[in-house]
Amino acid sequence: MSDGRALVVCKKKEARLSVLEKLAGIYGDPWVWISFDPIHKVVMHFIVGRHTQKNADALVQGTKGRSDGHIPLFTSDELKHYDDALLKA
């Protein structure tokens, strides 16, 4: 019986991938992407996955969908994918 939770396991670290595995994009280091509301102290949205444009878009859209329609403050690790994701939102 599933309770809605999922366990994400890193099958193989990024540094140990073969060239073929890197091209396939299946394995590698997973990241936890979090949007947090500091005023209400709540996690608004999160994604577990690799650093991809798709995940950046999903995080920003998920945050926007759980807010009043805008993102008033955004801080990041300067991943290039956030630029496009914020422009799309």
Q: Which sequence spans correspond to the domains of the chain? A: 29-88
- State pTM to two decimals: 0.66
Q: What is the pLDDT of residues 24-82, one digit of tens each?
A: 766 767 788 899 888 888 899 999 888 889 999 999 999 988 888 777 677 777 788 88
Helix (H), strand (E), coil (C) string for 2-33: CCCCCCCCCCCCHHHCCHHHHHHCCCCCCEEE
Alpha-carbon distances of 8 from 40, 59, 67, 79, rounded to whole Å: 28, 17, 27, 22
63 contacts: CB under 8 Å, gap ≥ 6? 35, 44, 45, 71
